[in-house]
Structure 1
Amino acid sequence: MSYVPRFSWLLAALILAGCSTQGPVSQKEVEKEKERERAQPLDVASVVRQKIPASVKDREGWAQDLATTFSSQQLAPTLENICSVLAVAQQESNYQSDPIVPGLSKIAWKEIDKRAERMHIPTVLVHTALKIPSPNGKSYSERLDKVRTEKELSAVFDDFIGMVPMGQKLFGSLNPVRTGGPMQISVAFAQQHTDGYPWKMEGTVRQEVFSRRGGLWFGTYHLLNYPASYTAPIYRFADFNAGLYASRNAAFQYAVSIATGVKLALDGDLILYGSSDTGSTERAIRKLGPQLGMSDRDIRRQLERGDSQKFEQTTLWREVYRLAEKKSGKTLAREMLPGIQLESPKITRNLTTAWFAKRVDDRRAACMVQN
């Protein structure tokens, strides 16, 4: 009987040892736990109040506008999604609905002269026309000399087009201000995606883009409201800057380049949209026609799906990757940051889409760990 207590003690010790020596938690398990935490539904307004800087004007307005945006678009209210939107707004405008653009007046005058030159209209004639009074009593020239934001500039051009005979000839309906608002969303994109907009518009879609709520709603729609197979948010940030599925299409272009030996610009543009001309990517793929068992018409038709997720189900997608991976002897990426140089009158530095995506992704990551 003297052995029973001793055995019981040994058994208990073994059990305790087993509980305390399961080994360190693997990095994979840690990442899975983090992923589960990121996927937890949250109260959007509460997260925005917590994450947005105290210096931001009307933080409550930002919180309510973004909460309405997520609910009306039926987006998953996860920390990653909320921080992704905030990161873009911080990068593009530092949380301003109508940010000041340095040197905007000079940019405006340069654009006017450029358009006049293209239309063979003497600049002196244009400058004279701009000296007439605008609806607010000041001349267009005076207003242009003092514009500080894109909203102000857009309003000047709208007045000019509507009130001055030469304005319609010079600009027609093509207001040179292409983007605006806290996320610098494309006005053209907003005009094409108004379904489900939760607020009553007092003016035009263009004017709504320059508001906080409109800029957030349309910007969030462009950033999150499309299906994608990406493994990380950074590729959506690149798409936001370069166009839907640009990151996926750039990777496909790389596969085409491997399969054909043709060097291509990895810009995400598979075809020349709005044109019957054949772009470099399409020309390169046509060289694979016999191996793909596809005609030029078949290739074109499937490339036209490059602005949707359905492109990944096409024969062209599958066979190009098959040929490229056979030639390279390795699995090729299905996502890649596009190699695009950013060009805009507002940009004075040497910037790229990859730079933009990485900057925004750093902001997203910081937002997610911020208390």
Structure 2
Amino acid sequence: MGLLALAACSHQAQQPSLTPEQVRAKVARLLPPSASQRQAWAADIQAAFQAQALEPSTQNLCSVIAVIEQESNFQADPQVPGLGGIARAEIDRRAARLHVPGFLVDAALAIKSPTGKSYAQRIASVRSERELSDVFDDFIGIVPLGGQLFGTLNPVHTAGPMQVSVAFAERNARGYPYTMQGTVRREVFSRRGGVYFGTAHLLGYPVHYPEPLYRFADFNAGHYASRNAAFQAALNRLVKARLALDGDLIDYGSLSAGQTELAVRSLGKRLDMSDSAIRNALDKGEQLDFENTRVYQRVFELADQVAGKPLPRAILPGITLESPKITRHLTTAWFARRVDERRARCVARD
């Protein structure tokens, strides 16, 4: 079963045709030959699917397996070369952006931690994001004013074997099937938590995509980024401005209209819509229901007429990946294609 057929049902309760034991056996068979602890990975993947009532089809299972392989090569807590230096540089950048004086950061990190080492020394020696996050949680909890002054400086925002957003996990922790050992953040770093929340982020929302490739792009760029990028490409055929195909329909960080919203407003008379009605429609850009709005339907209707053919309703967003850990030019399209290649190889193992 492809993800197009799955789109309407992946977020709804399903009665799997396979028993949990059969699903675990299937996952173990689909895992790449290089994966170790196969039974443990199979158990966590099966549990995530069962808890979220997702269909354990080959395509679904292989989609999750492909993301894990791409992001961590089946290491629950992957090591990052040079992470200590990367982390300290990122802390300093964030502090400068928030106008926290450098001498204050240095003085706080020079404080001796419960291990006997200073926090600066511990950060310099970390090898994995989990170690770094543990140091930071310790630091924030113990250092005077640590939470108030440095609570936003933790450089770890994606974590675990699927590199899922900690913020996403915190928003979607309801229904988590395990007893938490501490915070949601700590659970994301575990194999079971990383798989659970990563699976939710990848498959736990409905789409009308023609192939899995676009879910992988959304996993990297945000839900519905591929659909919204196609909408922006359609807009580019109707307006003089050339919009970035980033999937962001409104500027959530500002009260003023962003470039995509301004482009749609310029078509207000042709759409027969007011600015407020346009804004209300674009506000649904992170929902499936955006496709039912007049803005979405009329823009594509007009763009199809200009093109003389139906335009694609999903394209890969044009986003360059930015992270302190990334040292070369990578894009969302690159990520999506790499994961899709892994998915195809997984399917072939069935």
TM-score by length of 1: 0.86
Superposition map of 1:142-221 within 5 A: 142-173=121-152, 175-221=154-200
Offset from partner CA, 1:47-103 (integer Å, 9 cap, x none): 221122454342211111111111110001100000000000000000111110111
Offset from partner CA, 1:248-307 (integer Å, 9 cap, x none): 000011111112232110010000124312110000110000010000000000000110
Q: 2:110 is matched by which residue type in structure 1?
A: K
Conservation of the 8 A alpha-carbon contact between 2:52 and 2:200? yes
Q: 2:136 is matched by which residue type in structure 1?
A: F
Superposition map of 1:350-365 within 5 A: 350-365=329-344
Matched, 1:132 2:118: no
Of residues 266-275 and 48-57 in structure 1, the stretch that sits farther from structure 2 once superposed is 48-57
Q: 1:227 is matched by which residue type in structure 2?
A: P
Secondary structure of the equivalent of 1:265? coil
Counterpart selection for 1:60 from 39, 42, 49: 39
**Greater RCO (CA < 8 Å, at least 6 residues apart):** 2
Question: What's the Cα RMSD here?
Answer: 2.0
Aligned to 2:247: 268
CA shift, 1:158, in A, is 1.1
Alpha carbons of 1:56 and 1:246: their partners in 2 closer, same or farther (altered >3 Å)? Answer: same
Structure 1 gaps of 5+ residues are: 1-30
Conservation of the 8 A alpha-carbon contact between 1:115 and 1:170? no
Aligned to 1:254: 233
Give the percent of matched residue pairs that are identical in Structure 1 and Structure 2: 57
**Distance (whole Å) between structure 2 residues aligned to residue 221 and residue 298 of structure 1:** 31
Q: 1:279 is matched by which residue type in structure 2?
A: G
In terms of fraction of residues, the more helix-rich structure is 1
Superposition map of 1:319-358 within 5 A: 319-358=298-337
**Distance (whole Å) between structure 2 residues aligned to residue 174 and residue 206 of structure 1:** 15
Conservation of the 8 A alpha-carbon contact between 1:41 and 1:78? no
Q: 2:69 is matched by which residue type in structure 1?
A: Q
Of residues 261-270 and 73-82 in structure 1, the stretch that sits farther from structure 2 once superposed is 261-270
Aligned to 1:44: 23
**Distance (whole Å) between structure 1 residues aligned to residue 99 and residue 330 of structure 2:** 32
Structure 2 gaps of 5+ residues are: 11-15
**Distance (whole Å) between structure 2 residues aligned to residue 63 and residue 214 of structure 1:** 14
**Distance (whole Å) between structure 2 residues aligned to residue 119 and residue 289 of structure 1:** 39
Secondary structure of the equivalent of 1:260? coil
**Distance (whole Å) between structure 2 residues aligned to residue 328 and residue 199 of structure 1:** 51
May I ask how many residue pairs the two structures share in their alignment? 337
CA shift, 1:164, in A, is 1.3
CA shift, 1:126, in A, is 2.4
